[in-house]
Structure 1
């Protein structure tokens, strides 16, 4: 299952972002808490090499809480400031304070030079990690278009949070090629790839295999499966049978079953699940 998606607008947005970086004090990098490693764009190391970076592990309410804590410890050991957050229910005032605290050394240098400067940040990340949703929470109003799908934000745009803080929203940026199939599959599972390029049944098989290994009871109970002692296609058929997804002639509608399974994972209906742990 080789998943690749790097549309032309991403290359254009990357160039525009690079040009605007001279006006940015702090980079807020949003990761999906369910897959912090796979949602970390490797191109950003070069692009933001001279900037202070602050990681926000968003959608923490969908991830395994203990695994998220392990990720925060991992980043702390890497000397990277990172926090967990949920754009739907997180403490937005605490997040704002954490952003200001991360930029404190920079703001102190400004004050030492006699500058009372507004902190300007860029919020970046791969598609559908929740950048615009976080910005709307920070600003207290729905200034920016958001949605649980990739490609909603198309251009760079500034949002004034308060008199001391401005944040630039940016389009979701992937990198030209996933070196590992697993990375492409994980990025697709969290909804960061356009659906029309996906083989959803193949992706559902990947998710079933993952759940069999990491959360077998959850998979079995959610879909009322008698046994997990089948191959992934057989289990997808069992899911279709449990949900009544049948075509004419009693054939299982595995396309609908795959779409349902993927949607229920992406939207958290399977429970709090993380797709990877820190090494």
Structure 2
């Protein structure tokens, strides 16, 4: 089932952010280091490119991501014009403290002290924007929660002498084009639970883990994932963890929560759900499927 999630407040927040970008020097885009492209709102890229604004792309939660995949993503983004990519953990004050200085390198015209450096922080829900805001200002100015879409209003705050920072709500986009992106976002808790079925999301996550991280599964759950598919892995986790409903049947919802929570918390290990290569392969497959669908529609019926 395709996953879509676009609460009403996000549309008005997107319009306000677009208006404010005219007076912004640098866009700080926060993504999830485990799925940097799937967690990058395409509207943010469109808005900043329209205004020709440079971007400091923060790959947050790097402590949860596969280091090899993160390095590949850093190389990928730092080849793009107007983009500086940095991998951080918002929980580390030293990582967050680097952000203003990095923004200054992207807007050298604001380094003369005549006008403040104006930054705007953007990103999808639950990638750590509020945690970064609070760490930069050394006080709680943004609500932090484990549920997506905690922040709902724009606010601009002084970040010290000659710097301002505008915080924006987590912004999704109206239609997630690729189903796999929706599932990766749901697995990483960037989408509200009312929009997803946890068992399906866990099965999708399981497919990736079986292929890329079988050793982590074996170590965590004391099982051999060889020959399993995603649903079978969820069942196996449920059996290993004694997930039973009244009457003795397997509680697949509870098993799904265990797998998802172990991934989200990093208990399972350092995991990335996509790499530049896997992203390229997914897009190529999607493009080929679109061509096939178009050919089927255009082909005339034989009488």
For normalisation by structure 2, the TM-score amounts to: 0.86
The alignment status of 1:148 with 2:158, answered yes or no, reads: no
The alignment status of 1:66 with 2:64, answered yes or no, reads: no
CA distance in 2, matches of 1:214, 1:224: 17
- Give the CA RMSD over aligned residues: 1.5
SS of the residue aligned with 2:247?
helix
The alignment status of 1:187 with 2:189, answered yes or no, reads: no
**C-alpha contact (below 8 Å) 1:128/1:150 kept by paired residues:** yes
**C-alpha contact (below 8 Å) 1:220/1:228 kept by paired residues:** no
CA distance in 2, matches of 1:61, 1:33: 9
SS of the residue aligned with 1:153?
coil
What residue in structure 2 maps to residue 14 of structure 1?
A: 14
For normalisation by structure 1, the TM-score amounts to: 0.93
After superposition, residues 63-102 of structure 1 pair within 5 angstroms as: 63-79=65-81, 80-91=83-94, 92-102=96-106
In structure 1, runs of 5+ residues without a counterpart are: none
CA distance in 2, matches of 1:254, 1:137: 38
**C-alpha contact (below 8 Å) 1:228/1:235 kept by paired residues:** no
Aligned with residue 223 of structure 1, among 221, 224, 238: 221
SS of the residue aligned with 1:174?
coil
SS of the residue aligned with 2:217?
helix
CA distance in 2, matches of 1:227, 1:120: 50
Q: Deviations over 1:168-227 (max 9, x none)?
A: 110111111111111111111121100111111011100111100000111122112145
Aligned length: 273
Q: CA deviation at 1:117?
A: 1.3
SS of the residue aligned with 2:89?
coil
CA distance in 2, matches of 1:191, 1:248: 28
What residue in structure 2 maps to residue 107 of structure 1?
A: 110
Q: Which has the higher relative contact order, 1 or 2, with Cα contacts under 8 A spaced 6 or more apart?
A: 1
